[in-house]
Amino acid sequence: MKSKMRKCACGIYTLKKICPICGNETKNPLPPRFSPKDPYGRYRRQMKKERCDRGNQHCSN
């Protein structure tokens, strides 16, 4: 089932693509579905490792 709820950066939930409060674009609040055949997983893990090596983000192993 596709989610119709959307969330704005200001924290407002709405059904519209544009936030009625601040006018920013809203996004789907749900994370993408997990797939074992994720074609981009390798690149995502590589980017996370590079960020951890630079010390830009907290890393958890």
Which residue is it, tokens 């590589």? 46
- Model pTM? 0.49
Query: What's the pLDDT at 60?
Result: 64
Query: CB of 26 within 8 A of CB of 8?
Result: yes
Q: Does residue 3 register a pLDDT over 90?
A: no
Q: Does residue 1 register a pLDDT over 80?
A: no
Query: What's the pLDDT at 57?
Result: 59
For 9-59, the pLDDT digits (tens) are 999 999 999 999 999 999 998 887 888 888 888 898 899 888 888 876 566
Cα 12 from chain centroid (whole Å): 16
Query: What's the pLDDT at 54?
Result: 80
